Amino acid sequence: MKALVLTENEVEIRNVAIPEPQEGEVLVKVLYAALNRRDQWIRVGLYPGIRQGSILGSDACGIVEKVGSAKHIAWIGKKVIINPNVNWGEDARHPQLSYTILGMPSHGTFAEYVCVPVHRLHEKPAHLSDSEAAALPLAALTAYRACFYKGEISAGKNVLVTGAGGGVAQFATQFASAAGANVWVTSSSEAQIQLLQAKANIKGGVLYTKADWHKDLFKFTEKEGFDVIIDSAGGNDFNLLIKLCKMSGVIVTYGATLGTAKIDIPSLFFRQATIKGSTMGNDQEFADMVEFVSKHQISPIIDSVRPFSAIVEALNDMAMGKVKGKIVVEM
């Protein structure tokens, strides 16, 4: 089968053997897979625990084609998505030491077939197309934990999601809005803000490329500020996010595309504010996320569906910030 394999300094499509499901595992024929920034971080060596030779990819929608144990035969022919957690463990707050994510070190979804334990399977949400379902797992899980377990977003709260072009940010925007929060976004693109107004009923947004963008946001909230801010940029402007917090406000951070964050500590403590680091989510959160997405009929924002043969170019486009939603590849 064809698969995108991590090589010494790159990734490349290679022919490898179709894996054989072991006891408790299933073989999933991948219909669509989706890209995450994690894939690109691994590609360029900026991720912990790199293992050469791994097949990348954490997201997929596929059909169960073969099972390793007869008792799982009912799964055959079902359309599924895969919980990308590997060994989260028993503590809901954080993963255990042996935790990894599907697609390095374990072989992932950028392949015609992938083997996973049967307890990783969830039936494809009925309201989603196969390509939409493929875009869900990793980014929506990350957004779900950031919004609800960490951010404790609920109806009526003022929520800001920064950099709303990213996959996780778009899910966070949709989730917060579906939960009844008043949601604003920052983006580098007016079209992106309009898209989210149409798709997620947000209150509005500002271009972070504009001077004093934070002052406009503060006015939009009638100078109240935000209960919750979901950020993945970090950098020098992180401090402005603290100033945008209400008293007891919470900033949830799951990324640092702009690098090291600077924080003015008195701004933080005079507000009794909190910064919470968040990444991925536990297995219960994955199940809750799938239920939430189904209940609220949320569908991922897809940038494009491309052939698997163009996946390296797709990773390049993602790295260059040339995308406006999830990139899905068709196997």
Interacting residue ranges for a copy of itself, rule: CB under 8 A:
48, 91, 93-95, 234, 239, 247-248, 253-256, 260-266, 268-279
CA R_g for the chain: 20
CB of 268 to a copy of itself, least distance (A): 3
Structure tokens at 105: 């070190």
Closer Cβ to a copy of itself, 47 or 220, answer by number = 47
CA distance 116 to 22: 9
Helix (H) or strand (E) holding 141: helix 137-144
Closest CA to 292 of 131, 150, 164, 177: 177
Helix 283-295, helix 137-144: angle, nearest 10? 100
Q: Which is nearer to a copy of itself, 53 or 277 (by Cβ)?
A: 277
Which among 74, 61, 117 is positioned nearest to 290, based on CA atoms?
61
CB of 44 to a copy of itself, least distance (A): 14
For a copy of itself, give the closer residue by CB, 5 or 245.
245
Question: Closest CB to a copy of itself among 7 and 274?
Answer: 274
Q: Which residues contact 119 (CB under 8 A, 6 or more apart)?
A: 24
Provide, rounded to whole angstroms, the least separation between the CB of residue 95 and a copy of itself. 8
Rounded CA-CA distance 209/269 in Å is 28
Most distant pair of Cα atoms in the chain: their distance: 62
Tell the smallest beta-carbon distance from residue 29 to a copy of itself (Å).
Answer: 33
Question: Based on CB atoms, which residue is closest to a copy of itself, 106 or 142?
Answer: 142
The distance of closest approach from Cβ of residue 101 to a copy of itself in the complex, given in angstroms and rounded to an integer, is: 12
Q: Which amino acid is at 84?
A: P
CB nearer to a copy of itself: pick between 15 and 260: 260
The first and second tokens of residue 301, run together, are 């924002």
* Distance in angstroms (rounded) separating the CA atoms of residues 107 and 58: 9
Nearest approach in angstroms of CB 272 to a copy of itself is 4
Nearest CB to a copy of itself, comparing residues 103 and 234:
234
Shortest distance, position 47 Cβ to a copy of itself, whole Å: 9
| Cβ neighbours around 50 below 10 Å, total | 14
107, burial (CB in 10 Å: exposed 0-12, middle 13-18, buried 19+): buried
Nearest-approach distance from CB 246 to a copy of itself, in angstroms: 9
Q: Are 293 and 136 in contact (CB under 8 A)?
A: yes
Two tokens, residue 17: 């053997």
Q: Which is nearer to a copy of itself, 209 or 272 (CB)?
A: 272
Nearer to a copy of itself, 30 or 140 (CB): 140
Question: What element of type H or E holds 10?
Answer: none
Q: How near is the Cβ of 41 to a copy of itself at its closest, in Å? A: 9
Other CB atoms within a 10 A radius of the CB of residue 251 amount to 26
